[in-house]
Amino acid sequence: MALKVTDENYKDLLDGEKLVVLDFWAEWCGPCRMVGPIIDELATEYESRVEIGKVDVDDNNDIVVEYGIRNIPTVLFFKGSKLVDKQIGAAGKEVFKEKIDKLLQEDGFA
């Protein structure tokens, strides 16, 4: 299951050693409901290697503003607190897996 990421805990999460994947979503967003289960599956599959979390845009204005989230779903990928990739809009599981695997390979963690 993906972590619940909030305005209060996201900076600590981004300061960690692992690749971080954040899904920006809202309950009322249809495409977000399609991506949500994929994010949860990936959180289980990559549990020991990648921190994967969900950010409810309706409850966490600080992080939404900081990263300029204007469309949801938006999935951001971070390494060492730096934004290194993103996916705006719904996508299939393979798209996310390819991005994660590529970023892990770059660091020699694959």
Distance CA 45, CA 64 (A): 26
Hey, what are 43's tokens?
A: 């959180």
Amino acid at 1: M
8 A C-beta contact, residue 66 and residue 75: no
Which positions are catalytic? 29, 32
